[in-house]
Structure 1
Amino acid sequence: RIAWRSDKICAIFALDVSNSVPQNEIQNALSFINKSIEKLKDDDLVGLVSFAEKTNIEVLPKTKPNINRTTSESRKDYTNIDLAIKGAIDLFPQGYQKRIILISDGNENVGDVLNNVDILKSQGIEVHTIPLSTRLEGKDEVWVENLIVPSQISSNQIFEIKAVIGSNTDAKLKVMLFRDGQFIAHQDMTIKKSDVKKMAIFKQTIEDKKNHIYKVSIESNIDTIRENNHAQTLVSFAEKRKVLYINGNTGINYLPNVLEKSGLDTTVIEDMSKFPSSIIELKDYGVVIFDNVSTYSLSGSQMRMIETYVHDVGGGFLMIGGENSFGSGGYHKTPIEKILPVKMIPEEKKRSVSIMLLIDKSGSMNALSGNLSKMDLAKSASTSVIDLLTDKDKIGVIAFDAKADEIVKLDRVQSKKQIVDSISGIKARGGTNLYPALKMAYSALKNSDSQIKHIIILSDGRSLQMEESINLVKQMAEDSITISSVVISDEADKEFMRDIANIGSGRYYETDDAGNLPKLFIKEAFIASKLIMEGDFQPIVSYNSEILKGIGSMPKLRGYIGTSIKEGAELVLKSANDDPILATWQYGLGRTLAFTSDSQPKWALEWLKWDNFAKFWSQAINWCISNTTGEFDVTASITGSKGLITVDAVSTSGQLRNFLNFNANIVKPNLTIETVELKQTGSGRYEAEFNADQRGTYLLSISEMDGEKPIATKNIGLTISYSPEYIDLTSNNQILKDLSSATGGKYSPKIDDIADRKSKSVQRIQEIWRWLLIIAIPLFFFDVAVRRITLSKDQLHNFVRKLFYKTQGYTTENKTFSHLKSRKGRIVEVQAIKRIEAQSELPVRKTQVISRTESYTSRLLSAKKRANKI
């Protein structure tokens, strides 16, 4: 490579487009940039990045770009100058004078731009800084700075909500207080410019033992923007003994009545639409109980929220069995299965099963249900059944319209993917006739060696040959083949399908929503596989849990849902077959419990009469509720885009507690989770920072840890009401001055300064290895040719003659001249031979003749013979 000196400039403009900068300032900045480009030389390079919270490359470095606007669509609620400078540094090519022109109000609230000074200096990059005015510069403004409330309160405790109000002018205000969106109080206030800040205080009490969101808003006739006229915060209730009981049973609520008598504050809901809509509301409860509740009434977002509530907030969860619970309730491969100590499918099923799926593929199955057709949802339902089966089971699939097609031949479940691929190929068309499909299914099942033989029929229409179908179902029943039916249309013959299920000793389902099909199929396959175990049995104590403290022998139960224990879980009670009856474990910060029998007379009749029934359940529920009485206090605050958690650990005797382990889980407004470990920063004090770059409420769960196990957990809430961009009253010019001074740039430069050529040019390096390689390749082949190819003198002469002379140009004189030169050469050779002969007559000393001389003489003698012939 070669190097030379260059005075070319590469200028990267970094333009602040955050919310604190008014639009007219951005337009003025673009005008300045274009005027600067005009001053630069034609071969100088110019680039542009715009930035707010993130950095966007608007123009890569090039000559004389035309810049009219910015295209950044990223969030503008924060300003990260640090990231903008890093992005600009990465754009510089080699061989140019490097300069960054930062155009900003200097109000960074993410990162620290001065951390880049060392790398800027090491790369010779100077930074010019141009200050912009903020949108509030020189304008009258009032704002709510923050709310101060206790981190936790008790029932009927009188507490204060302190609203800190700021103003840069004299103003009259109306300060209003809201709780959970409802107006509850107001104050009139006069604030003077000299006050800087003033406080409005509201006294409150909470009687319902719930968490509440308080909001303060202000109104004033002197104001510029409204975005900063409110603030809100979460007030947490200290006691965590509240129970949320979701009832999936019909009839008497036995368990809630018992819990209330045991002193547990229990809220009962039977409609999942009344389930808490946010993690903040769910945090009101110490434990959530699902009693015989299926997934059919649950949404995916509700299940994910429960997982977050347990794992990251430290809530408790308890599931009680019944025909709509555990695997038969559709919880296989759901977030609820993830948090429970048991798996929905037993490791070893006791009996093998053969299941035939008869799927209606008539043309009406192409009708849409939501975004998918009924046919697509039927396929999805069919594949969900396959997930429940083991390689000991058999599956077969028949699709029918006017005739029956065997999609999957009844056989053991070996390649699930191959089966799913076959089902995916079903196309809907034609009419509806169930009888051929029933006949084909019967033929396959009657020869099966499985202990359980079951058919699931899905249809949305009216079938032909109904009488023949009913007679065939009766014959199947005699051969112990059971049938269940699912109807998904009002046009279907429901009575016919119900008769088939009744005669076939199965179950009948109907739904208007084809989206329920996968859940219905899972439930049906679970029940058909006889994973619901019924019959009297005595629970066996497998682990001496604190749940059983003070409880002696237990009555018999009459049934349970088959599950299998997860690794790491505690199996407290089991059946004679070692199936879980009561299992517990720690999941993240929370605890979960599975009781696979029920709380109703069907399976737990003797337990309802048992003296220790209330004691057993109250101890089970109290076990699920996290300990919130740890010997530590928690405070938290937010500055810019960073939050700070502080724990002060003090024992009940007043001693500072050192060398402890604390973790914090932060549930953010969008329900993402950040986990941080607190470090000890002083005697009894532990701290950690977390990212707080979203508006809304943050739920913090701080736990004292013993290894991986939480000893105690405390929860507090923090709220970001508005972006810090809306409280920047003036520009931060000092940071701009510090940056330009530290890097050799100028603060508030003129246009000529942007294009100024330094007396000291920079070294520019040009790589030339490609050109050298192009030259070297033909030289290499020429060298090889010279070394490897042998040419006589005549051949070489002829080659050169042909290369440099035209053949047509040779004349007679040329030929004569060549002949004379050849003759002269031969005469020279003859003379040399005669000299050698004359020397040979002299006395010669006897000595060893070397091969080189011998070879030379031989050549001369050969030449003599040729000369004699002339």
Structure 2
Amino acid sequence: MSPLQAGPGTELQAGLPGTGLQAGIPGTEAAEVTVRGVTLGVELPLVALALPVVLVALVALTFHLRGAAGDWSRRRRLGLFASRVVLATLLVAAAAGPYTVTARETPGDPRVRLLADESDSMAVTDANVDALAAAIEAEGVPVSRSVVGSGTTSRLGDAVVANTERDAELLVVSDGQVTGGRSLGEAAEVATSAGATVHAVRLSTTRTERYVTLAGPAKTSAGVGNSFLVRVSGADLGSSTATVTVTADGTPVFTEEISGAGAAEFTYTFDEVGSHELVARVDADDVHDGNDVVRRSVRVVPKPRVLYVSRGEYPLEGLLDRLYNVTSRPAVPDDLEPYQAVVLQDLPADEAGNVTALQRAVIDGTGLVAVGGRNAYDNGGYANSSLGSMLPVSVGEGGGRTTRMVLLVDVSGSSEAGMETQKRVALDVLEQLGDGNEVGVVGFNWQAHLVNDVVPLGSNREQLRSKVRRLQSGGGTDLGVGLQGAADLLDGPGTVIVVSDGQAQDVTSRAVARRLNQQGVQVVTVGVGRRVNEDLLSDVASATGGQYLRADETDRLRLLFGGESRTFAAGKLTVVDRNQFITAGVEPESDPGLANEVSVKSGAEFLVATGDGEPALAQWRYGLGRVVSVTAYGVDGSLDGLLERPDSLLLSKSVNWVVGDPERDARGVVSAPDARVGEQVTVRYVGRERPDGPPRFRQVAPETYEATLVPEAQGFREVLGATVAVNYPREYEGYGQSDALSGLVRTTGGQQFGPGEAAAIAETVQQSASRTREVRREWGWLLLVGALLLFLLEVAARRISRYRRRTATTATAADD
């Protein structure tokens, strides 16, 4: 396969280790020659070098060593030598692995294996399986039909695998909404390896169907306002409106008109400790009624116990006091066991109190938030102190991190129309990176192609720009292969920045991303193009602890990886990473004006930058504990606009994040996630003794017990005093044909047909059945058989000769 051309005089070099393009082990490459359409080849050509050695050994054995045939005549010895030469040649040739490849047109057996999805979500589509099957058979192609989904069960991935045979032609009539078993991506791998082709029928939704979902915290503290998101989705909604009503413990708390597919956010505060029931209902006249109601159980616990340590009077204490059970101290005390989190504000390291006790507590799981100011960090002697060692930032000149990275550019056919945009964004990405970074470039389509090795960016920036400008597009798309190629070029921890539309075969990309995360590789994805698969790009980034950026957000890379040569000016705080709990859904509006001089440590998460690009908020884990550094502050020494909404959410969510589970040390606690009808859910109990059932609990760890439930009806269910919300089956939360089904078809080389294209389906199957195939035959076995027969003939000849000589000797003796 020739490498991609990237413009005059430039070639994308193939051969990244681990990508399937490596040169291979010397001597293991097959040798081939084609004569009149027949390819003759051997798998291991270097094995032939053994033949001269074998022949020399045969000469020695036949003519110079005495053996069983040592008294033979010269003529017989020459015959034995010739036989052994042929025998050795046959064995060596067989070991080399001879084969032939011929092109042969096979008529095949045109047949359609139709997989019919009859699950409940199909009721809103225009599928007519009976009519389609009859029309295909009328074209002379037999149809074997299998039902692959019914009721609330749609295990389409399992059905594709079960029906996959060598060169099979499968026709799927389904919306692709899988409710269990293998994913369609996993099924695509199995079908591809078997040479099976999966086709699908394009379906349209013809009936209106709405379903409602409710998102929000499953556990919260009494007296704390919580944000919940109620969303209406479905099929064929158009711009019609529906009323959504939410009740808390039976009392209406929110009502909203939602147009088409949309969402609404509301805030609610629970005042009483215990389990509470939220119910959202959409007023809908549609096919299925069960999904018009969704339930959520919220467990409310006492306010977390927070220790606030400061020597000054700051407004932050009042904000914390409204949200948590706060104890104030001028210094860290010796005993920190009563507290779930510690907040330090504007304290010098030598006045912080018992830092050793604090360090021990954080390692054991206590949270820490260190708030800066005129007496902290660079102004408070944090450098080389025990306090500074716990924090995600180090004292010194600020700015983003520098690292080894690879710019991975999508050069596949799906990006062809917008290739100029792709290159422009890739060049912009290079522009955002500081000179201290080391950068390489890889292009990918269905293979990974080396464009430039990893080199210092400062002295090679123009060289990299030139190579990116000359990239050209073509070929299929496999993001997983591209990610692996980029990681192979890194050859260790680092960062991969992907510039792509995400229109890729996502069979392996998510799995590759998880593997890269274990290798210390972080992936940042940048979505470019008219149709961007944001779900795939976001999943790949989040699997490695990275983030997804839109094409107009590349300036955030300047914050993450900028250096002294890169400047940033936003005029207010800027969220660098939206994918973390603390920053999710928060758009800061303030500009505190000042910040301590710090830099983000390797392994920490840079979350928020100041108006001039310096770190304002960062997080990491220290032992079992979670730590947040807040380094922006106002000219008066306080946190200025950070104390007002929406910016104050950054502070409250920081404390919530470091607290983690407020009941992690409690005993006699039952926890269970919301459940679905027909799906197994695990209930956990933490206590000193096994609880009495039902359900029956089993011990899984010291003082930890678990039980499994499979709810059969919607509603709320009590388990040892805890409330479990049971919602409608997963089947009623997916309508319309999924993108995953299109990916399955594309990966296996199939086609998508309209419901009335029976003739086209029949023609495609007939052509596939009679296509020309390469037929490969191995001939090593035949040579081995020949060698065996020759050896047996030689043995027989020697025995006959020996018998004749013995007979002649006996006859001579008798005559005497």
Q: Which structure would you say has the larger RCO, counting Cα contacts within 8 Å and 6 or more residues apart?
A: 2
Q: What TM-score does the superposition give when structure 2 sets the normalisation length?
A: 0.25
Q: Normalising by structure 1, what TM-score?
A: 0.23
Structure showing greater Rg? 1
